[in-house]
Structure 1
Amino acid sequence: MAQHTTPQPSNPAQHRSHDTGSAWAAGGTVFAAVLLLVDGVLGVIKGIAGIAEDDVYTRLGNYTFKLDVTAWGWIHLLLGIVLIIVGAGLFKGADWARVMGVALAGISVILNFMWLPYTPIWAIVSIAIGLFVIWALCTGSLRQDSRTA
């Protein structure tokens, strides 16, 4: 004879924290997309400033990663355009955009670290944006995977 068990009430706190985690992950991904767009626009502005006028940024003495400011301008301009495209891809929910967002945010952090002596505050802001984007995109991905498991 089969035993009949009564269904146990679910733990509402467990569902609430899981839903909250998913909401945070989704919100973090949207915020990461916005930050990628902002960082992209900042990169375009930095790039244009570096290309247009070589005297916009301070001249450095002996710096290990010293490049011509115009070369740095082109680097920032191109990276900024790609960041804008990836940010737009995140808004559309493209899977490639999440992977590219993490990779490009990492590249942006490294380049802005190398750019630090030219514009310290601007570079630090861009580094912070890049680090948050990496965290948000990686965390959002993990939480979405655990939701389906």
Structure 2
Amino acid sequence: MADGATGAGRRPLTVERAFAGGWTTFAAIMMLIGGILMVLEGIAAIVNNDLVVATRNYTFSWSTTGWGWIHLALGVVLVLAGTALFGGAVWARAVGVVVAGLSMIANFAWLPHYPFWAIVLIVIDAFVIWALCVGPTKQLD
């Protein structure tokens, strides 16, 4: 099979496919980083309500403990999906896009409490969504 042909059931490794694989690995790493940061953020908000600054008259006026549980749950799902993505699980791509989108929304609402941290996580989630949506465009012969 020196001419580039593959065995039955195998797809040829192309430049685009290798590139998409690299972006999938990047997305998995970013999901792990973002998920761990969200877990830490959630634990901090749950354990110590005085640790975070709560502003008055903000549209999303949940308790910091409530926000903590939301961040903790989203972070755990991101870490699990990121780990599964390393194993090549197809479902992890879809879960990653959905959960990263939910994480962006949650961190946007979290802006008054920790602006810098929330912006960093929004950027990480944007990169995760982009990297998971990148795919091979064509196959080389």
**TM-score in terms of structure 2 length:** 0.86
- 2:50 paired residue number: 55
Asked if 1:126 is matched to 2:121, the reply is yes
How many Å apart are 1:66 and its aligned residue?
A: 1.3
Alignment of 1:104-115 (within 5 A): 104-115=99-110
Larger Rg: 1
- 2:3 paired residue number: none
Give every structure 1 segment of 4 or more consecutive aligned residues whose post-TM-superposition deviation is greater than 6 Å: none
Asked if 1:146 is matched to 2:138, the reply is yes
Matching residue's letter, 2:97: V
Gaps of 5+ in 1: 1-17
Comparing both structures, which one devotes a greater share of its residues to helix?
Answer: 1
Matching residue's letter, 2:103: S
- 1:93 paired residue number: 88
Aligned counterparts of 1:37 and 1:130: Cα–Cα separation in 2: 11
Q: Determine what percentage of the aligned residue pairs are the same residue.
A: 51
Query: How many residues align structurally?
Result: 128
How many Å apart are 1:39 and its aligned residue?
A: 0.7
- 1:37 paired residue number: 32
Which of 63, 73, 78 is the equivalent residue of 1:78? 73
* Alignment check: 8 A CA contact 2:35 2:77 kept: yes
Q: Cα RMSD (Å) of the superposition?
A: 1.6
**TM-score in terms of structure 1 length:** 0.81
